[in-house]
Structure 1
Amino acid sequence: MGATSSRADGASRLVFAGVAFAFLLVMLGATLPTPLFPVYQQRFGFTQLIITVIFAAYAVGVIGALIVTGRWSDQLGRRPLLFGGLVAAALSDVMFLVSDGLAGLLVARVLSGISAGIYTGTATVAVIELAPKPWKRMATFIATAVNMGGLGLGPVVAGLLGQYAPWPLHLAYAVHLGLLAIAVGAIGIAPETVQRPDRPRLTLQRLRVPAEVRGLFLPAAVAGFAGFAVLGFFSATAPAFMGEVLGHANLALIGVVAGTAFFSSTLGQLAQGRFAERKRLPLGCGVIIVGILLVGIGIGVVSLWLFLGGAIIAGLGHGIAFRAGLGAVTAASPVNQRGALTSTFFVVVYVALSIPVLGIGLTARIAGLPVAGMGFATFVALLAAVALVSLLRYRARATPDPSSQPSFRES
């Protein structure tokens, strides 16, 4: 019995690791282009605005996948959606490999966004469901860490290969495509965790915010928007600021700086549990403000170290605010509406990946990159401040009786 149990435990850990690996790989692919944007810009003569448009196409794919397929895994099962996400990721790699202009790059980014959108919802749930018993308590954090860790590794891997290996615009995608074959095998051996209904209903994910949560949803969503705007900044425009403003064109260094914000976010999500529940979201807002202002100052005084320090601090703030905010609104929501509320929250924060960076591209054409960067930093700091003030007002209006207050614990 002991040997049988040991083998079963080993098999469950292998399956769990395989699904987590596939999740990490899909998210890694989403940020592979980041350090290569300057090379695309030079090769094809793109303006900074076009680069931000290419990046924003990713957010279109993510939001579309969240809305269209958000409820499909409950009807079709987790594995079909996970396979579908891998197919979209592989098609994205192929498009990057064969693309010779703007149209192909836009298609590749949309496909990458679709794969990430599918995995953001489905793989998160699958990782939690397949976690071995000893790891159940940490399953949610493992899922978010894999998500953010993959996004952080993408620029690092592509930057190292782009700088020190041949075929700089293609090798990272070829390697990623090969690794996806391993991920297909990992999903293939994973058990299905959903009982498929006889007649699946493939409906769109409704976006709604229950009335009783709206007062809390606003500051949480604004804080999440500010935090994801920071991640969008480092994913889309950090290469331009590194090269054209700070004078560092090494692709590996660009990749490390871009990835740092995501790695810090993972640490912030882990660290937020050390603080009292009521302090987490306000703390996250405050840390975002400090970090993004350091980024703006680094741009203004042309300091790589201030720029990097701001990335680390703003990433920490994002992790704290994002996990605390999402946990707070889902805990305060009626159980039967949490799925729709979570999807609405994710749509809001993923919009933040595209709109602000497009603003940077437009402003850079008119006033130059330094002004655009410092203006962006001010904008994000103001957003985080609005979230903080809105949260304090919400709490001031709330009934002081603790039993009537929504719990600020993780869902």
Structure 2
Amino acid sequence: ITSVSPLAGLALGALLTGMAVRWTGQPVTWVFGVLALVFAFGAALVLWMPETVTPRAGALASLVPRVSIPVRARAEFARGLPVFVAVWALGGLFLSLAPSLMHHVFGIDSGVVNGLTIAVLSGVGAAAPTLLGRFAAPRPAILGMASLALGLVLLLAALATRSLALFFVGTAVAGIGFGGAFSALVQTLAPLAQSHERGELFAAIFVVSYLAFSLPAMLAGFLVAPLGLLATVEGYAGVLLLVAAVGTWNQWAPLRRRAAP
């Protein structure tokens, strides 16, 4: 649930926002008004949620943010770093530059289509853990990274040929890796932490993930002016291909060692 819900939220939010831009006169008011209500409802709901950890002394100290990786999880965490980076940097690419690609490369200026680019990536990503869950670890992460790499190749081909259909096919294929690989790693890491360590471990996971989500996209934004949009996106995708290849190898290497005689 923890690994899938951010992707499902991205998909639903992007799609509804695109529809608001297309069919309402005041999309900003509608979008942020609805979000305010959702957050208020969530805050009220938290008050009724049962606690899952035995209370301990030091309530105020527990509010101080802590980020750490339990000793048992450190090797797996380090091995999964390229996966976290590739997955969330891909998400950052779509959220930051996909609307510009629709307008300048494919000649489409539509809020609904812009929302669909995010919704397809994140929606397929939310469904991917179910598709890959039948395989034993680390195969879901390996298949996810391979799907992400293949999706990037298809996206580069779509940009070269100006094919919108191929763009969405590549987005869906990359989405399998976007959600599948991330969920697989979370499910691998979570059991390696005791209950009182899990919050700090998840904080570490999302610090890395959201830095990868934001910093490369910001850098790409600065490079658009001197390099051009298409060259920037192609370079971004090329770097992600390399990172995805490293991530695939990192996940496959232990499996290969276990299979060796």
TM exceeds 0.5? yes
Inter-partner Cα distance in structure 1 for 2:245 and 2:141: 12
Alignment map for 1:179-258 (pairs within 5 Å): 179-187=38-46, 190-193=48-51, 196-197=55-56, 199-200=58-59, 201-202=61-62, 203-208=64-69, 210=71, 213-258=73-118
Inter-partner Cα distance in structure 2 for 1:187 and 1:207: 24
Q: Which residue of 2 aligns with 1:382?
A: 242
Residue 243 of structure 1 contacts residue 249 of structure 1 at CA under 8 Å; is this kept in 2?
A: yes
Q: Which residue of 1 aligns with 2:208?
A: 348
| Amino acid corresponding to residue 204 of structure 1 in structure 2 | P
Classify 1:233/1:199 alpha carbon distance in 2 versus 1 (closer, same or farther; 3 Å): same
Classify 1:395/1:337 alpha carbon distance in 2 versus 1 (closer, same or farther; 3 Å): farther
Classify 1:390/1:175 alpha carbon distance in 2 versus 1 (closer, same or farther; 3 Å): closer
* Equivalent position to 1:284, from 144, 153, 166: 144
Classify 1:174/1:278 alpha carbon distance in 2 versus 1 (closer, same or farther; 3 Å): closer
* Equivalent position to 2:15, from 156, 164, 174: 156
Residue 216 of structure 1 contacts residue 394 of structure 1 at CA under 8 Å; is this kept in 2?
A: no
1:180 Cα deviation (Å)? 4.3
Task: Write the deviation string for residues 369-403 of structure 1: whole angstroms up to 9, x where unpaired.
Answer: 111111111111110101122233445567979xx
Classify 1:302/1:281 alpha carbon distance in 2 versus 1 (closer, same or farther; 3 Å): same
- CA RMSD after TM alignment: 2.6
3-state SS of paired residue (1:207): coil
Inter-partner Cα distance in structure 2 for 1:397 and 1:338: 29
Task: Write the deviation string for residues 198-241 of structure 1: whole angstroms up to 9, x where unpaired.
Answer: 5412333132352x544432332211210111111122221111
3-state SS of paired residue (1:221): helix
State the number of aligned residues: 258
Inter-partner Cα distance in structure 1 for 2:191 and 2:147: 23
Q: Which residue of 2 aligns with 1:306?
A: 166
Inter-partner Cα distance in structure 2 for 1:299 and 1:387: 25
1:343 Cα deviation (Å)? 2.3
Inter-partner Cα distance in structure 2 for 1:362 and 1:397: 42
Inter-partner Cα distance in structure 2 for 1:171 and 1:146: 22
Residue 242 of structure 1 contacts residue 248 of structure 1 at CA under 8 Å; is this kept in 2?
A: yes
Higher RCO structure (Cα 8 Å, ≥6 apart): 2
Please, which runs of 5 or more residues in structure 2 have no aligned partner?
none
Query: Normalised by the size of structure 1, how large is the TM-score?
Result: 0.57
Inter-partner Cα distance in structure 2 for 1:396 and 1:319: 24
Inter-partner Cα distance in structure 2 for 1:223 and 1:351: 13
3-state SS of paired residue (1:233): helix
| Amino acid corresponding to residue 382 of structure 1 in structure 2 | L
Classify 1:255/1:294 alpha carbon distance in 2 versus 1 (closer, same or farther; 3 Å): same
Classify 1:329/1:231 alpha carbon distance in 2 versus 1 (closer, same or farther; 3 Å): same
1:148 Cα deviation (Å)? 2.0
Inter-partner Cα distance in structure 1 for 2:27 and 2:49: 38
Task: Write the deviation string for residues 157-205 of structure 1: whole angstroms up to 9, x where unpaired.
Answer: 11111111112333322233344454455445x2442665454123331
Inter-partner Cα distance in structure 2 for 1:199 and 1:387: 40
Q: Which residue of 2 aligns with 1:168?
A: 27
Inter-partner Cα distance in structure 2 for 1:250 and 1:348: 32
Inter-partner Cα distance in structure 1 for 2:79 and 2:56: 38
Residue 7 of structure 2 contacts residue 179 of structure 2 at CA under 8 Å; is this kept in 1?
A: no
| Amino acid corresponding to residue 203 of structure 2 in structure 1 | S
1:355 Cα deviation (Å)? 1.6
Inter-partner Cα distance in structure 1 for 2:76 and 2:46: 38
1:149 Cα deviation (Å)? 1.5
Residue 149 of structure 2 contacts residue 244 of structure 2 at CA under 8 Å; is this kept in 1?
A: yes
Residue 221 of structure 1 contacts residue 325 of structure 1 at CA under 8 Å; is this kept in 2?
A: no
Inter-partner Cα distance in structure 2 for 1:167 and 1:334: 48
Classify 1:204/1:278 alpha carbon distance in 2 versus 1 (closer, same or farther; 3 Å): closer
Classify 1:209/1:393 alpha carbon distance in 2 versus 1 (closer, same or farther; 3 Å): farther
Q: Which residue of 2 aligns with 1:406?
A: none
Residue 3 of structure 2 contacts residue 183 of structure 2 at CA under 8 Å; is this kept in 1?
A: no
Residue 220 of structure 1 contacts residue 329 of structure 1 at CA under 8 Å; is this kept in 2?
A: no
Inter-partner Cα distance in structure 2 for 1:199 and 1:336: 14
* Equivalent position to 2:128, from 236, 248, 268: 268
Q: Percent identity?
A: 23
Classify 1:179/1:338 alpha carbon distance in 2 versus 1 (closer, same or farther; 3 Å): closer
Residue 159 of structure 1 contacts residue 253 of structure 1 at CA under 8 Å; is this kept in 2?
A: yes
Residue 221 of structure 1 contacts residue 345 of structure 1 at CA under 8 Å; is this kept in 2?
A: no
3-state SS of paired residue (1:246): coil
1:268 Cα deviation (Å)? 0.7
1:153 Cα deviation (Å)? 1.0
Alignment map for 1:46-85 (pairs within 5 Å): none
Q: Which residue of 2 aligns with 1:296?
A: 156
